[in-house]
Amino acid sequence: MPATLTSPPGTADVAALKDRAHELRRLQMTMTRGKGEGYIAQGLGIADTLAALYFHELRHDPADPDWPDRDRFLLSTGHYSIAMYAVLAAAGYLDEDELPTYGLNGSRLPMSTFDITPGIEVVGGSLGQCLGQAVGMALGLRLDGSPARVFCEFSDGELDEGSTWEALMGGATFGVDNLVALVDCNGIQADGPVTVAIEPVADKLTAFGWDTREVDGNDMQALTDALAASRERDGRPKAIVLRTTPGSGIPSIVARPRAHFIRVTDDEWAGFMDELEANR
């Protein structure tokens, strides 16, 4: 029996989910301190989404990660692994004691997701590839008569890739209404701001045949409302455009002009933790 089932619309305990998101941010900072560096800004930004998914929306069972009828969550931006490991630990797939090994040689928690980690569905990090996998997975589940849904996170930077747009067309063509795309629009990529003219993202996804909503990705109520709306099976794949803030919860990280990958000293780490608690 799954440990977590999709909750009825309108029943989200937003305060409890905010506490969960705070805990995910705290766990990520523990990992950053252990390694001394990491993709922490993006991880902090996506923490609310992962809390809403794993503790409210997804049907999944940490005791049986391969449960056939589980909902699948695919993390395309594999360097968001720091956030993924945090939620897998909080949900019971990993022991928290393992988190400080993030990014270290021999660890099961590499800096970009790999299939050695319990609860990871796909190898992420080759950007622009995951949505195509998600379309195929959703189609296969539908053909098998499975009730499972597929949730695929990908980033605004991946809209630079033609393969993403091909997958968007494929999802609409096959009418995979058991698929939800979570598009993290945080405005940054490896070498600075996203500069390709991808806007207006939501309008473009709608034009490609997706039932699309746009929300503040750090607003828990907005997230849970959008996820509840995505359950409708109307022949169209669903997309939620998430406007997230890199470093959300720690103002000093938010203020960094280049936050794709940061190094953190012990002195900085202590200050960041103080900010995280003060902005809870």
Distances (CA, A) of 138 to 134, 226, 235, 277: 6, 19, 12, 39
pLDDT digits (tens, 9 = 90+) for 156-174: 888 988 999 999 999 999 9
Domain of residue 75, residue span: 14-278
Averaged pLDDT, 104-126 = 89
pLDDT at 11 over 80: no
The answer to whether position 2 is within a domain reads: no
| pLDDT computed for residue 173 by the predictor | 97
How many domains does the chain fold into? 1
| pLDDT computed for residue 92 by the predictor | 96
Task: Show the tokens assigned to 102.
Answer: 């993030």
The answer to whether position 24 is within a domain reads: yes
Higher-confidence residue of 219 and 195: namely: 219
| pLDDT computed for residue 186 by the predictor | 83
pLDDT digits (tens, 9 = 90+) for 233-277: 999 999 999 999 999 999 988 877 676 677 888 888 889 889 999
| pLDDT computed for residue 8 by the predictor | 60
| pLDDT computed for residue 35 by the predictor | 79
DSSP 29-61: HHHHHHHSEE-HHHHHHHHHHHHHIIIII--B-
The answer to whether position 7 is within a domain reads: no
pLDDT at 91 over 50: yes
| pLDDT computed for residue 136 by the predictor | 97
Bridge partners (DSSP) of residue 180 are 151, 238
| pLDDT computed for residue 269 by the predictor | 84
- Exposed/middle/buried for 179, CB within 10 Å: 0-12, 13-18, 19+? buried
The answer to whether position 230 is within a domain reads: yes
What's 262's domain CATH number? 3.40.50.970
Count CB neighbours of 260 within 10 A: 17
The answer to whether position 21 is within a domain reads: yes
Averaged pLDDT, 85-106 = 94
pLDDT at 191 over 70: no
The answer to whether position 139 is within a domain reads: yes
| pLDDT computed for residue 189 by the predictor | 65
pTM: predicted TM-score of the whole model, two decimal places: 0.92
CB 57 within 8 A of CB 73: no
| pLDDT computed for residue 115 by the predictor | 84
Closest CA to 159 of 277, 92, 265, 241: 241
CB 89 within 8 A of CB 95: yes
CB 197 within 8 A of CB 140: no
| pLDDT computed for residue 1 by the predictor | 39
The answer to whether position 1 is within a domain reads: no
The answer to whether position 4 is within a domain reads: no
Q: What does the alpha-carbon distance between residue 199 and residue 174 come to, in Å, rounded to a whole number?
A: 25
pLDDT digits (tens, 9 = 90+) for 22-68: 999 999 998 888 777 778 889 999 999 999 999 999 999 999 999 99
